[in-house]
């Protein structure tokens, strides 16, 4: 059997799971089930097919993906998209960067499939059809007449080994139906939920794009003609990729192709598309309440609480969704779960940063959490990963006071290096050229207090690589590095 290379599509920045999911931390990266994200769970189940995975992700999320792949114990590469151009472009880029005969399994990063062995067995059943030149999709056997999913209508059984493994030709792709039409399709049989998981040879995908979406293929050819490799990261040409038309693979290819086959998946599956869907992933008590984290209910019924940090108590509530985060709280009736995006729009129009940004901001070196701020001060909690360092920098208008609460930090100030141990502090005055690094093997945690008349991020002057030691000259001091 041919080796399969999973390709995880990590794009997307939906707002339906706000306030946990935001532009800077889409739902695939958010810890929705215990302390694991949907992306980590996806990578762990795909690990059953092989040790390496290719991820296609936004440039701004590259270190989030890298962190999750390490936690999931998988290797492989990461194709960085300079902008979002939907699944057709993402899949085209992956196919063009792969060997022509490579079997590629394209999978969303944000679905929940709790039976990984069953999924792996189903995918292997699709290999004969993919090897014969088919574009194989995997349809979920419906458990109820959902109007929230697209459907696949099965056609005739394929000939040979592909048919013996359960593969049928796809007769039609159907849009999300009305509740009445969904019930009719379930009763008629032969209809599957479209899970958006595909198995196809790289060259077959390229040939299908050439026939049905040649403009998308042409843009992606130019974008991947001279890829830049930076460790596990693969960067494509920005201008060529930005010029690509944005369209899903379903509309661009699958609905037009005569080479599409489907293999049924008889297992639990959810696209986790709303807070109601998230709630359904948790066990319920006798009153149908569902709890994630530090939630408590008293005389409540059919209430879901997501409370990862502080205690949240629902008293006498019914049919509510309560989602707590450090800087925003959502309370919604279950019937209004699909309108969460309207709340995001409202906050955006009011200029509230919580619409798109979390308090905790990931960085290549770790993360910072904005704990508090006022007119002339800001308090942050910094976490610096083992072996990591921040860029050499300087501030014109603010001072920084650091207290190390865990680990040992190495601080370079105007050419002099100091080790700051746990329970020790250090002061960075305005105009000081400095760099913070973690020389140890454990995470360093620092409480940072900023003071001054101006605390904006544009007061940070970063310097070029190679300027980690010593004091830069006057010309270098004037150079801003993005």
Predicted confidence (pLDDT) per residue in 423-480, tens digit: 999 999 999 999 999 999 999 999 999 999 999 888 888 885 433 333 344 333 333 3
Spatial separation of the C-alpha atoms in residues 444 and 385, rounded to whole Å: 7
Q: Is 128 helix (H, G, I), strand (E, B) or coil?
A: helix
- Confidence at residue 471, expressed as pLDDT on a 0 to 100 scale: 38
pLDDT tens by residue, 276-309? 999 999 999 999 999 999 999 999 999 999 999 9
Structure tokens at 29: 């990266």
- Confidence at residue 31, expressed as pLDDT on a 0 to 100 scale: 87
- Confidence at residue 392, expressed as pLDDT on a 0 to 100 scale: 94
Cβ atoms within 10 A of the Cβ of 178, count? 10
Structural domains in the chain? 4-265 (3.90.550.10), 284-353 (no CATH), 360-477 (2.60.120.10)
pLDDT tens by residue, 376-408? 999 999 999 999 999 999 999 999 999 999 999
200: closest CA among 150, 249, 145, 140?
249
Distance, first Cα to last Cα, the chain:
47
- Confidence at residue 479, expressed as pLDDT on a 0 to 100 scale: 36
- Confidence at residue 360, expressed as pLDDT on a 0 to 100 scale: 87
Instruction: Compute the average pLDDT of residues 112-129.
Output: 96
153: pLDDT strictly greater than 70: yes
Note if the bond before 19 is cis, omega within 30 degrees: yes
Secondary structure letter of residue 358 according to DSSP: -
pLDDT tens by residue, 214-244? 999 999 999 999 999 988 999 999 999 999 9
Look up tokens 């920045």; give the residue.
13
- Confidence at residue 1, expressed as pLDDT on a 0 to 100 scale: 62
Nearby residues of 327 by Cβ (< 8 Å), 6 or more positions away: 19, 354, 358, 359
164: pLDDT strictly greater than 90: yes
pLDDT tens by residue, 407-422? 999 999 999 999 999 9
pLDDT tens by residue, 168-180? 999 999 999 898 9
Nearby residues of 260 by Cβ (< 8 Å), 6 or more positions away: 134, 135, 136, 137, 169, 170, 254
pLDDT tens by residue, 8-24? 999 877 688 999 998 88
- Confidence at residue 454, expressed as pLDDT on a 0 to 100 scale: 92
Spatial separation of the C-alpha atoms in residues 109 and 11, rounded to whole Å: 8
Question: Can you spell out the DSSP letters for 463-475?
Answer: --TT-SSS---HH
Do residues 282 and 290 make contact, with C-beta atoms less than 8 angstroms apart? yes
Percentage of residues of the chain with pLDDT beyond 90: 81
């Amino acid at each position: 059997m041919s080796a399969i290379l999973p390709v995880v599509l990590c794009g997307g920045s939906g707002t339906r799971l706000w306030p946990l999911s935001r532009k800077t931390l889409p739902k695939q990266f958010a810890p929705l089930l215990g302390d694991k994200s949907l992306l980590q769970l996806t990578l762990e189940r795909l690990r059953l097919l092989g040790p390496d995975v290719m991820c296609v992700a936004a440039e701004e999320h590259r270190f989030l993906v890298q962190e999750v792949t390490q936690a999931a114990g998988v290797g492989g590469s990461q194709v960085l998209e300079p902008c979002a151009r939907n699944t057709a472009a993402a899949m085209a880029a992956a196919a063009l960067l792969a060997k022509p005969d490579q079997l590629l399994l394209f999978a969303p990063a944000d679905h929940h499939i709790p039976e990984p062995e069953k999924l792996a067995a189903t995918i292997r059943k699709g290999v004969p059809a993919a090897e014969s030149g088919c574009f194989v999709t995997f349809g979920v056997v419906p458990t109820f007449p959902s109007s929230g999913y697209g459907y696949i209508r099965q056609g005739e059984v394929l000939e040979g080994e592909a048919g013996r493994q359960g593969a049928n030709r796809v007769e039609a792709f159907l849009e999300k139906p009305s509740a009445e039409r969904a019930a009719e399709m379930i009763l008629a049989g032969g209809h599957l939920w479209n899970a958006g998981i595909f198995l196809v040879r790289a060259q077959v995908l390229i040939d299908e794009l050439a026939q049905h979406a040649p403009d998308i293929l042409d843009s992606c050819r130019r974008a991947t003609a001279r890829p830049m490799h930076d460790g596990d990261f693969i960067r494509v040409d920005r201008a060529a990729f930005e010029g690509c038309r944005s369209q899903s693979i379903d509309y661009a290819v699958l609905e037009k192709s005569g080479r599409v086959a489907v293999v049924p998946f008889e297992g639990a599956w959810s696209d986790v598309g709303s807070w109601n869907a998230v709630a359904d992933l948790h066990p319920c008590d006798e009153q149908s309440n569902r709890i994630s984290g530090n939630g408590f209910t008293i005389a409540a019924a059919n209430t879901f609480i997501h409370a990862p940090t502080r205690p949240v108590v629902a008293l006498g509530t019914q049919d509510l969704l309560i989602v707590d985060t450090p800087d925003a709280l959502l309370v919604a009736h279950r019937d209004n779960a699909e309108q969460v995006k309207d709340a995001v729009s409202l906050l955006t129009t009011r200029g509230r940063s919580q619409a798109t940004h979390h308090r905790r901001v990931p960085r290549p070196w770790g993360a910072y959490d904005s704990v508090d701020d006022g007119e002339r001060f800001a308090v942050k909690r910094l976490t610096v990963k083992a072996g990591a360092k921040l860029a050499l920098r300087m501030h014109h208008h603010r001072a920084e006071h650091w207290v190390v609460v865990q680990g040992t930090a190495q601080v370079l100030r105007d050419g002099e290096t100091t080790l700051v141990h746990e329970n020790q502090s250090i002061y960075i005055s305005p105009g000081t050229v400095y760099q913070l690094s973690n020389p140890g093997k454990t995470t360093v945690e620092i409480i940072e207090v900023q003071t001054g008349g101006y605390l904006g991020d544009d007061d940070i002057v970063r310097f070029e690589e190679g300027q980690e030691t010593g004091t830069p000259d006057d010309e270098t001091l004037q150079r801003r590095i993005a």
